[in-house]
């Protein structure tokens, strides 16, 4: 059997990381790990971690590194990840997180195969996020105009009622873009210097972006 794939998806909010993680999961059978989705589930359950993260997330700010790293370190150590590999979506978002991820993976003995950098202009992101509808259960995303669900307000995949995320409003979107430029863009350089970065133009249909990713990572 071939080795499990270990991928990182990196790019600004709204670039399509979650959509690509779902498409890649079908092909690679690796575990999609979205730090944002884990935080939202903790908030929903009212846990201590959720309470801590809620304010940061609603304002569009990054949750502090120590909290995020501890949460992802726990998740990466679970058996399904070592058996099937992972598709990280939204982590790492700072150089400190990237360094910690290296340390964790060194301990676990499975290095990253490739880091896919999804690229779009800010205007595209703002347009996409402002009309985005998200399924709170399975994480699928739709768009009021560009990609409406078959039945209004209902997820095509699992039938759950769709919602708009609390951080998909103009102020939080702007803050998230600033956070991306200031804190996450340096992570791209961190991986480029190692020769594992695969830049992909993400201002295209999800299927076209997916095909280019698959070509770039040769899986
Ligand atoms: P996402 O679903 O990836 O857009 O993440 C939603 C929000 O969760 C972000 O705007 C941050 O507030 C928080 N978040 C997700 N991942 C991280 C991370 N790796 N580091 C810090 N905050 C994060």
CATH of the domain at 210: 3.40.50.300
Residue 152, exposed/middle/buried by CB under 10 A (0-12, 13-18, 19+)? exposed
Beta-strand pair 197-201/114-119: parallel
Q: Which domain holds residue 37?
A: 5-120+184-217
40 C-alpha to ligand 1 centroid (Å) = 9
Check if the beta carbon of residue 90 is closer than 8 Å to that of residue 10. Answer: no
The verdict on the CB of residue 139 being under 6 Å from ligand 1 is no
2 C-alpha to ligand 1 centroid (Å) = 31
Half-sphere exposure of 89 (CA within 13 A, CB side): 24
Q: Whose CA is nearest to atom 19 of ligand 1?
A: 91
Task: Evaluate whether residue 161 is within a structural domain.
Answer: no
The verdict on the CB of residue 63 being under 6 Å from ligand 1 is yes
Task: Evaluate whether residue 57 is within a structural domain.
Answer: yes
39 C-alpha to ligand 1 centroid (Å) = 8
**Per-residue pLDDT at 154:** 98
**Per-residue pLDDT at 122:** 92
Task: Evaluate whether residue 125 is within a structural domain.
Answer: no
Check if the beta carbon of residue 209 is closer than 8 Å to that of residue 200. Answer: yes
- If one counts the domains in the chain, the total is 1
In angstroms, the Cα distances linking 143 to 61, 117, 173, 180 are 23, 22, 16, 22
Task: Evaluate whether residue 41 is within a structural domain.
Answer: yes
What is the phi/psi pair of residue 35, to 5°?
-60, -40
Task: Evaluate whether residue 79 is within a structural domain.
Answer: yes
Check if the beta carbon of residue 38 is closer than 8 Å to that of residue 73. Answer: no
In whole angstroms, give the CA distance from residue 109 to residue 64.
Answer: 26
The token pair that represents 22 in the structure block: 């779902």
In whole angstroms, give the CA distance from residue 139 to residue 134.
Answer: 6
Check if the beta carbon of residue 100 is closer than 8 Å to that of residue 92. Answer: yes
Based on C-alpha coordinates, what's the Rg of the chain? 16
Q: Which helix (H) or strand (E) holds 87?
A: strand 85-89
128 is catalytic: no
Task: Evaluate whether residue 175 is within a structural domain.
Answer: no
The verdict on the CB of residue 168 being under 6 Å from ligand 1 is no
pLDDT beneath 50: ranges in the chain: 1
**Per-residue pLDDT at 3:** 81
215 is catalytic: no
Task: Evaluate whether residue 142 is within a structural domain.
Answer: no
6 is catalytic: no
The verdict on the CB of residue 91 being under 6 Å from ligand 1 is yes
Please tell me whether residue 38 adopts helix, strand or coil conformation.
helix
**Per-residue pLDDT at 1:** 47
Task: Evaluate whether residue 144 is within a structural domain.
Answer: no
């Amino acid at each position: 059997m071939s080795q499990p794939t270990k991928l990182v998806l990196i790019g600004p909010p709204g670039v399509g990381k979650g959509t690509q993680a779902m498409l890649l999961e079908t092909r690679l059978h690796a575990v999609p790990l979205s730090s944002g989705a884990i935080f939202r589930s903790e908030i929903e359950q009212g846990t201590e971690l959720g309470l801590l993260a809620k304010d940061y997330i609603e304002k569009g700010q990054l949750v502090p590194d120590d909290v995020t790293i501890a949460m992802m370190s726990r998740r990466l150590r679970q058996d399904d990840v070592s058996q099937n590999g992972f598709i990280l979506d939204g982590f790492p978002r700072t150089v400190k997180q990237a360094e910690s991820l290296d340390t964790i993976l060194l301990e676990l003995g499975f290095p990253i195969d490739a880091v896919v950098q999804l690229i779009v202009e800010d205007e595209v992101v703002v347009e996409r996020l402002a009309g985005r509808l998200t399924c709170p259960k399975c994480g699928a995303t739709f768009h009021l105009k560009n990609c409406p669900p078959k039945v209004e307000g209902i997820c095509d995949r699992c039938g759950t009622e769709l919602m708009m995320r609390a951080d998909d409003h103009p102020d939080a979107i702007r803050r998230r873009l600033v956070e991306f430029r200031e804190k996450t863009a340096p992570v791209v350089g961190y991986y480029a210097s190692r020769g594992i970065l695969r830049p992909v133009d993400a201002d295209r249909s999800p299927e076209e972006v997916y095909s280019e990713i698959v070509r770039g990572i040769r899986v």
